[in-house]
Amino acid sequence: MSATASRDAAIALAIVVVFGSVAMLVAGVSPLDGFAALLIGALGSSQEIAETLVATTSLLFPALGVTLAFRAGLFNIGAEGQLIAGGLVAGLLGERLAGPAIVAIPLLLAAGALGGGVWGALAGLLRARFAANEVIATLMLNIIAALLAGYLIGGHETTPLPPSSWLPALIPDTRLTIALLLALALAFVLRWVLRATVIGYELRAAGDAPETARRAGIDLAKTAFWTMAASGAFAGLGGATIVTGVLHRFNLALSPGYGFIAIAVALVGELDPLLVTVAAFVFGILQNGAIGMQAAANVPRDVVTAIEGAIILVLSGRRAFKR
């Protein structure tokens, strides 16, 4: 497993370098200038590093959710919809809620996790009860989440949350909040659960050898349901941290596709929560560096979107063939 996995990371890096260089040459920019601008844009100042970590955080939550699902043999491509569902619940509750931070913040984060969890559980239920393919179900639920959000808020965003509901900043005057610490802590917790608990063992067994697991008395349907719910809760929590920490309101355009990029993050991170964390940082650099690259070297940021798309395509394709 680890041999193919390290190949995954190598392939991703090759795609970044080769695909990125070609795209930059097409855009009429020297790849050296382009990548330099990307790195300066991502890591050039404390402000930029903070923004890169904001992107890292927003990617890490759904990536951990996707990782969990993958480990149980489920391909959750619905993290985007689960993230929106979580953000939506946090945003709708947040605009009505005025209370002390110590109550409001945990409540909104829990509400977000619950929202994303319910959204994931819907796909889990379809899989557990009707053996519906979770890939199709989660993909469809993405669209429903986006449309439902538009319907429920009846505009493009909710009213801003009161400052008492904002996540405390880690670095003053940046958007980097304690959400990063929460995500890092969850990565460790997830690693521990997968490695050292019965639940984690059953989940991995269901993923690695479903037939054996079934014979050993593991309820596959139940495992699938709860895994999807937990996977969605991670993404939903991510959405809630964007609402409470980054935008301070729910906005229909709150995600540039974090839930999809999260698939690449999980695969590049070899489905190991700690490496996924490192991968999230690398993708955070790409994500935030794209802004600086566009400003300083005039490379359209769609180049980065294309790179991310290529990584998802190649890596998930490889996985599908391996199955």
**Contact positions toward another protein, by CB under 8 A?**
2, 5-6, 9-10, 13, 30, 32-33, 35-37, 39-41, 45, 47, 51, 54, 58, 147, 150-151, 154-157, 160, 173, 175, 242, 246-247, 249, 251-257, 270, 272, 275, 278-279, 282, 285, 288, 291-292, 294-298, 300-302, 305
Task: Write the CA distances from 125 to 19, 228, 229, 234, integer angstroms.
Answer: 39, 9, 9, 18
Query: SS3 letters for the chain?
Result: CHHHHHHHHHHHHHHHHHHHHHHHHHCCCCHHHHHHHHHHHHHCCHHHHHHHHHHHHHHHHHHHHHHHHHHCCCCCCCHHHHHHHHHHHHHHHHHHCCCCHHHHHHHHHHHHHHHHHHHHHHHHHHHHHHCCCHHHHHHHHHHHHHHHHHHHHCCCECCCCCHHHCCCECCCCCCCECHHHHHHHHHHHHHHHHHHCHHHHHHHHHHHCHHHHHHCCCCHHHHHHHHHHHHHHHHHHHHHHHHHHHHCCCECCCCCCHHHHHHHHHHHCCCCHHHHHHHHHHHHHHHHHHHHHHHHHCCCCHHHHHHHHHHHHHHHHHHHHHC
Nearest distance from C-beta of residue 308 to another protein, angstroms: 11
Closer by beta carbon to another protein, 4 or else 133: 4
Indicate the residue among 210 and 256 with the shorter CB distance to another protein: 256
CB-wise, 162 or 300, nearer to another protein? 300
Which residue, 262 or 279, is less far from another protein as judged by CB? 279
Nearer to another protein, 40 or 107 (CB): 40
Toward another protein, which CB reaches closer, 40 or 144?
Answer: 40
Check if the beta carbon of residue 167 is closer than 8 Å to that of residue 257: no
Q: Which two tokens stand for residue 170?
A: 């880690």
Shortest Cβ 242–another protein spacing (Å): 7
In the complex, least distance from residue 182 CB atom to another protein, rounded to whole angstroms = 18
CB of 51 to another protein, least distance (A): 5
155 vs 217, beta carbon nearer another protein:
155
Rounded to a whole number of angstroms, the minimum distance from the CB of residue 98 to another protein is 19
Task: Tell me the backbone φ, ψ of residue 31, rounded to 5 degrees.
Answer: -55, -35
Shortest distance, position 224 Cβ to another protein, whole Å: 28
Neighbours of 318 (CB within 10 A): 14
What minimum distance in Å lies between the beta carbon of 323 and another protein? 22
Phi, psi of 251 (to 5 degrees): -130, 140
CB of 162 to another protein, least distance (A): 14
Q: How far is the CB of 295 from another protein (least distance, A)?
A: 5
Amino acid at 300: P
Nearer to another protein, 49 or 228 (CB): 49
Residue with smaller CB distance to another protein, 33 or 219: 33
